[in-house]
Structure 1
Amino acid sequence: MSNFLKREKPRGEKQSVRLLTFNTWGLKFISKHRRERLQAIADELANPTTPDNDYDIIALQEIWCEEDWEYLSHVCRKRYRYRRSFKSGIITGPGLAILSKIPIVETFLYRFPINGRSSAFFRGDWYVGKSIAVTMFQSHDEGSLPIALLNSHMHAPYGHGDASYSCHRACQAWDFAKLVRMLKKAGYAVMQVGDLNSKPESLPYKIFTVEGGLTDSWNVLHRDRLIPNEDIAKLTVEDQIKLAGVTCNSRLNTWRKERAMSEACRLDYALIDANNITPVKAEVKFTHLLPHPLLCSYSDHFAYNVEVLVNSVDELVTPEPNHNLEDRETVYKELLAEIKGYRTYTIPFQAAWRKASFIFALLIVIGMHIGIIFVANIAGWLSIIFLLITTLVIIAGMLNGMIWYFGVRSESRALQEVQMEVEDAYTHVRQYTNPRNVAPSSRNSKYIPRVQVEEEPLTE
């Protein structure tokens, strides 16, 4: 912590905290120049050239190779005494890591129960165990509130329709909001950071800000000149970064230089509890290129840096239990509609064809076993081919059967649980916004059950 406390400040003023969040694009075998880029990032973090590039807390995403983390941890050990990488998943961990000058008091990892499909092995989100890495820090300044940092890399969108995974990200945002609300009630100054794969004003973003009660630090500092999403494409590539805070799909990024101007967006955030945290400066970082001979961007994302002031313990503002009721009701209805659509169309389709594939494979195997008797009499080598085909069909059928029985059914139940949680919250809010729509017997009950009397449908 000594490095942190050495920063000079006027007597009586609060000590600010400088935070950086950065998706490093550390996919093994897929990310180009991964080792060289990650080492360059580590070197720059360990040896900042200017005070503005010296951070107190660094939240990293896509640190998926152990050798990259070992290099980062080794190079940064003097400047950042407190370091932590998080583990989960089958193939590798969630890729989340923390470097800090402020002592870490406690950490835990919350793994998303809804996180892609096991059948999408070529995407990998399910296999790496996408999670929320929660880190609680010691008070960085005398009398200040302790910071609780939630770092995550949410499920990516891979296309339109079913490939967008919009329902998965919305459910992940719901889990985020619950953790945020609990930590705020516990007296922490809460910050949510990372590559959240959600554009401003998307449903997950609304859940973060309305249900979680967080505020976009970039918006706070640029409230007088906010750029709507639809107007970002009209800006120059430089202004997209400077004025709109674009961190992804910028043409200034060598890995995204072929992208359309309309694809530039902001996916990397530092969302804050604005009642207890005040942002004073925000900037997009790591926009420059690596030196010769690489001459490429450090990652396919740019980093986001924010400097904040944290309230003292005496200035703690606790969240109001019934804030933004009408906005929350709107968000609940939108989230329920998203879940209902997924459970109505995608889940039955996935279950039906996986189950059908399993049954069809079983019938083929039975037929092949019968047919091998006749084939063996024609030519011995044909029986070997029949056995090989039978083996492949058995493997394919078993995989589809297990995906149906364990994967799709588990995903359906997890979605149903989120739906019931949202319905509970919806009912609770409705008793304040429109009491006549709540069953009289439940209005004075300690536990408000899911909607019993409802004049309007829960979903639209």
Structure 2
Amino acid sequence: MGSFYEEAPTQINIFTLNCWGLKYIAKHRNARLAEIGNQIAVANPIPEIVGLQECWTQEDYLAIRESTRKILPYGKFYYSGIFGGGLAILSKWPIEESTMVRYPLNGRPAAFYRGDWFVGKGVACARIRIGRERKDVVEVFCTHLHAPYESEPYDSYLCHRTAQAWEIAKLMRHAAERGHLVIGLGDFNMRPLSLAHRLIEAHSPVKDVWRILHPDSSVGAAKDAVEKSRGKPIPSADYNLTVNGATCDSALNTWRWNKGHQKRLDKGHNIVVEHSVEDPKAKRLDYIFFANPETDSPNATPQWAVTSATVGMTGRHPTLHCSLSDHFSVEATLTLQPPSSTKIMNRNLSAQTTVPPDGTISTSPLPLETYDSILTLTQAYTLRERHQRILRLAHMGWQLCLSIGCLTGIWWAPYPGVGFLLALLSTVGLSVGVIDGLMGGLFVGSELRALKEFEWEIMRAREDAERVGRENWARDEEGKGALGGFIEVIS
């Protein structure tokens, strides 16, 4: 069992999985999540920090805790929203501190059939003590961003997911500034190099572990336009697992099969799918990000590096023969490396990150056009919500007038049955109108204020990016002038 007095480890194994544990909706929920706990307990390498999403019930969480208690003695189930956030963190080492940070923008209550607003999505934060020294701390951030219901850029919730990416990026940046190792993990519901993905890596020091090891991996499903434009052949299911890191919609996942195959599974038939089958729909939605702590002397300090990243939990339930979840897991190993004399070597995108003289690993701003596109997106969504507020308040007023008319009509109703129908119409109509009016007047007002805060922060980031651009331009011009003078002297 972990202890405050152990020496800090030189290797950390990380695991994240969306369990698909929707109560009353997810099929075979109890059996699948119990088996997920069993599989984590016997995994190799042994997971030491685990993040779970869509683990909605205490019952399922406790079943997983019971199975994994020997290797993961510490755990936290996070409460949020009306139905719970579905997030949990398990650890080999003590959890010193935890909090649940709700996202300011997170869906709409009118979309009750989607549920994102009702579950109160946010970031499960845990401060984990891995050694006796003051600096031996890992800050873990587990999240589940708003689901996409249309393809970008037509996704009506793109603004929400972008704002959520911004919020978790701030949390991870602040953790690195506190001098702690940072691990961000979960179901981010975004494609690699999408707007949200770029925003996270630009405004926090974290890097996507999969792209560090597989910089040429896919940026979407093979059928998506953004991936088609790369001119790559349709990958096999095995290639998607081992190179592209696909965790969702895989041809190997039974929950993505057609109804005919699923009915055969229900009858006990164990259908085998070859790993060589073409897999045009699989994509990567689940991620592990990490960042080294900021320090005054990074060149004299050991640095963490990602040494492996794999897609796991691809097996099936031993008796039900179904996949354990509608997602596969992401698993990674971080290893403490000896200090480097001048540079921290990063293999992601075949680049090297130079450490500035002050010892900090600074973030890199995005192009100005990217900030402009975020501002355009925010402004368009703001106009939409203002229009929605007017419609909802007008609907409440119309229902109020209708209700008064129905109540008045009861006085002249020729038959008791007609009076009853008018009273029922008045009650139901007024109730619906009041609910719609409350959403328009209260919820939309709250959402518009959150949008204003997000817009201000993006404008501030754009100003910083513009300033950095001017400084770089001035530095380049100064370098050209110095080079010209040098050429003139030697000539």
TM-score after normalising by structure 2:
0.79
Aligned 1:102-181 pairs, distance under 5 A: 102-140=93-131, 145-160=136-151, 164-181=156-173
Name the counterpart of 2:282: 264
The CA deviation string for residues 338-370 of structure 1, in whole angstroms up to 9 with x for no partner, is 2112112x2133212212211111111111111
Name the counterpart of 2:334: 308
Aligned 1:151-300 pairs, distance under 5 A: 151-160=142-151, 164-223=156-215, 225-229=216-220, 230=227, 234-258=234-258, 261-273=279-291, 276-292=303-319, 294-300=320-326
Match of 1:340 among 365, 372, 379: 379
Aligned 1:347-362 pairs, distance under 5 A: 347-362=385-400
Q: Which moved more, 1:167-176 or 1:329-338?
A: 329-338
CA distance in 2 between partners of 1:291 and 1:388 (Å): 54
Structure 1 residue 167: deviation in Å?
A: 0.5
SS of the residue 1:62 aligns to: strand
Contact 1:246 1:265 in 2 (8 A): yes
SS of the residue 2:254 aligns to: coil
CA distance in 1 between partners of 2:443 and 2:238 (Å): 45
CA distance in 2 between partners of 1:34 and 1:14 (Å): 35
CA distance in 2 between partners of 1:321 and 1:14 (Å): 23
Cα RMSD between the aligned structures? 3.0
Structure 1 residue 4: deviation in Å?
A: 12
Q: Name stretches of at least 5 consecutive residues in structure 2 with no aligned partner.
A: 221-226, 260-277, 294-302, 345-354, 472-491
TM-score after normalising by structure 1:
0.85
The CA deviation string for residues 153-204 of structure 1, in whole angstroms up to 9 with x for no partner, is 0110123577541100000011111111111110011111000001011111
Q: 1:220 to 1:253 in 2, by over 3 A?
A: same
Structure 1 residue 139: deviation in Å?
A: 2.7
Q: 1:87 to 1:233 in 2, by over 3 A?
A: farther
Name the counterpart of 2:482: none
Contact 2:8 2:130 in 1 (8 A): no
CA distance in 1 between partners of 2:375 and 2:137 (Å): 35
The CA deviation string for residues 391-422 of structure 1, in whole angstroms up to 9 with x for no partner, is 11011001101000111111111101110111
CA distance in 2 between partners of 1:235 and 1:314 (Å): 38
Q: Name stretches of at least 5 consecutive residues in structure 1 with no aligned partner.
A: 7-11, 436-460
Percent identity of paired positions between Structure 1 and Structure 2 = 32
SS of the residue 2:142 aligns to: strand
Aligned 1:60-139 pairs, distance under 5 A: 60-90=52-82, 92-139=83-130
Instruction: Letter of the 2:422 partner, please give it.
Output: F
1:421 and 2:439 equivalent? no
Instruction: Letter of the 1:255 partner, please give it.
Output: W
CA distance in 2 between partners of 1:405 and 1:310 (Å): 53
SS of the residue 2:101 aligns to: strand
Name the counterpart of 2:38: 43
Structure 1 residue 328: deviation in Å?
A: 5.4
Instruction: Count residues in correspondence.
Output: 422
